[in-house]
Amino acid sequence: MRTAVFPGSFDPITLGHFDIVERAAPLFDKIIIAIGQNSQKKYMFSLEQRMDFIKRTFSDFPNVEVDHFEGLTVDYCKSKNVSFILRGLRNPADFEFEKAIAQTNRELTKDRKIETIFLLTSSGKSFISSSIVREIITFRGDYKLLVPPAVRI
């Protein structure tokens, strides 16, 4: 079974994230959207809210599930017996950052290779980021065109 983990904080999930999962869904038997917890980070939305947003957003995708984890993504992948990490790329800066992480992950998993699969975000979504959405929400701007309906609170 080809299973991919799509890790992130998803604070909140955006249409950019949706774009990646929607396009990757036919490529994998299962995609686990895994919300990573970082004790150093302050989130706008609780873990429960983020999980709910994602579950409702992908309710029509039978091969997409939602989970959460603490620690290294590769350790989570090993615990789930997953060989693929799915990542979206919006721009060249994302590529450089994600490339370094992917190479580190490969080094950490020499015994059992975990491959990172990159998908380019569709051009109409490449400017969207969770941090931009949080900023717009903070200042009471109209963020609704940047997120799936489940996040439009």
Instruction: Report, as residue numbers or ranges, the catalytic residues.
Output: 17, 41, 90, 130
Give the three-class secondary structure for 138.
Answer: helix
Q: In what order do the strands lie in the sheet with 3-8?
A: 64-70, 30-37, 3-8, 84-89, 115-120
Alpha-carbon distances, residue 9 vs 29, 34, 44, 109, 125 (angstroms): 23, 8, 11, 22, 18
Cα separation, 11 vs 124, whole angstroms: 20
Torsion, CA 18, CA 26, CA 37, CA 75, rounded to 10: -160
List the binding residues for substrate: 9, 41, 73, 87
Which two structure tokens, joined as six digits, stand for 111?
């015994």
Cα separation, 99 vs 55, whole angstroms: 29
List the binding residues for ATP: 9-10, 17, 88-90, 98, 125-131
